[in-house]
Amino acid sequence: MKPTPPCTGPEIAALFEQPFDAAREFVAGGATLGEIYGMAAWLRTHLGDDEQRGTLCLAPDNRALIAAALLASLAGGPVVLLPYSFSGQALAGMHQATGCTTVLIDTEREVPANMEVIRPPGEAMSNDSFQFDARPDEELLRLYTGGSTGAPQLWSKTGTNLLGEALFLATHFAVSPQDRIVATISPAHIYGLLYSILLPLVSGAAVVAGIPSFPEEIVRSVREQEATILVSVPPHYRALRGKGSLGPSLRLAFSSAGQLDVDDNAEFCRHNGAGVVEVYGSTETGGIGLRHRFRGETGFTPYPTIDWQIRDERLLVRSPYLSPGLSRDADHYFLTADRVEPCGTTGFQLRGRADSITKVGGKRVDLEAIREAIKGLAGITDCLVLALPEAGGREHRIVALVEGGTVDIEAIRAVLTARFEPYGLPRAIKVIERLPIKDNGKVDREAVLRLFAP
């Protein structure tokens, strides 16, 4: 079956060159679309230069300001840079990595001394006729990932990459101006950016202000705002267990940034008519596939707008959402870092990252298999298994960090000894109440490494 044709650059440009409803809310009870376009026009006038576009680092709390900066960039203004967080350390890292000297903020932050601070005007500006020559095939922004599986990296995205995916999501899930979105993840990450800024921008939906993270905050936000869509991450779905229904308005829930636990998914679905749609992808690839266990789906179904294949247990994708700088083969396929196996004729099951296969003493060890064995034991809610380099050598030692309230380490060792060869057994097992999680929902690798430091 041929894939659905993705949105092209000219189609995206035509969408943003049409008249728009300036009074429509972008932030529920807050900024209107006219005010966003007004801020975009202001940024375009003050920072734009068609000959030398330059770069603009973003660190605002206000989603409307991020949306305005993206519109200004789409119109030929400076390329937007998003650090992996808005901390002073992350901004300094962005400055060092890119040379960007201008940062846009709307609140007091720690900013490197050699960066110029730009703040939005004090009073709201509305513009109901901001017309521009949209350039979706040019670079729109760069995202600086936090490096949860390795060193931080900077990924480039065009308008067609991001807005094309947002338009696909809006069409596929029938997102409309009648929808209200609650997002528990920062727009500094591609998942939050797509679902809490770009999706509302292209669909007309309103996004609720703030980023609730505690379970009581999430429940209150969905109920009080009568939200129809929840955008969250696995740790937050786990925290919602025992909280009951989020209310009758919710029709759709998304999860990304790691696989959602089966029991957490089932618990949420029991109390909410909306099942959780799991989104699989990455910053560099964009979205790749979806899984809806509430409908009986066990594997991920790739987006109909992409091509995919499995080669030597590795997933390859040919997609309009791939970052421009990614290396591709002769047929324009990108080799992902994930191991997969077919699931029926139209999907695949994830079997861990390619780098979850390591060698100890020259022997092949599957870290994901060890993790799954540990996770299946009573009292354990989550687990992380890593191969850490030994000091002064090329050999690795396997370690396991286990999350749970009642964990018997000796029982873990007994089960692993019965299933795996001695060289594949963790040298160290530590128990922790909660795995250290960053604000993008992923494991804080640096924190884990500190726990196992000599």
401 in any annotated domain: yes
For residue 182, the domain's CATH number is 3.40.50.12780
How many CB atoms are closer than 10 A to CB 61?
16
| Pick from 349, 368, 341: nearest CA to 297 | 349
Q: What are phi and psi of 255, to 5 degrees?
A: -140, 140
Nearest-angstrom CA–CA distance, 197 and 79 = 17
Q: Which of 147, 180, 211 is the last residue of a domain?
A: 211
**Ranges under pLDDT 50 in the chain:** 1, 147-150
Residues 238, 214 contacting (CB under 8 angstroms): no
User: Rounded to an integer, what is the distance from CA 382 to the centroid of its chain?
Assistant: 20
Instruction: Give a yes or no: residue 367 inside a domain.
Output: yes
Residue 389 domain-assigned (yes or no): yes
pTM of the model: 0.82
**CA torsion through residues 56, 57, 60, 62, sign:** positive
Residue 296 lies in a domain: no
CATH number of the domain bearing residue 403: 3.30.300.30
8 Å CB contact between 58 and 140 = no
Domain closes at, from 192, 211, 230: 211
Q: What is the pLDDT of residue 361?
A: 65
For residues 83 and 94, the answer to whether their CB atoms sit within 8 Å is yes
pLDDT score, position 118: 86
* Those residues with Cβ within 8 angstroms of residue 8's Cβ, 6 or more apart along the chain or in another chain: 160, 164
356 in any annotated domain: no
Q: What is the pLDDT of residue 17?
A: 79
Last residue of a domain, one of 166, 196, 211: 211
In this prediction, residue 50 carries a pLDDT of 57
> Given this model, what pLDDT does residue 319 score?
95
* Cβ–Cβ under 8 Å, residues 335 and 308: no
> Is 58 within the bounds of a domain?
yes
Q: What is the pLDDT of residues 90-129, one digit of tens each?
A: 888 888 888 888 888 888 888 888 888 888 876 667 766 6
Asked if the structure places residue 320 within a domain, the reply is no
For residue 224, what pLDDT is reported?
Answer: 95
pLDDT for residue 398: 86
Number of domains forming the structure of the chain = 2
> Could you give the CA distance from residue 79 to residue 154 in angstroms, rounded to a whole number?
13
The answer to the question of residue 155 being in a domain is yes
Q: Give the domain extent around 142.
A: 9-211
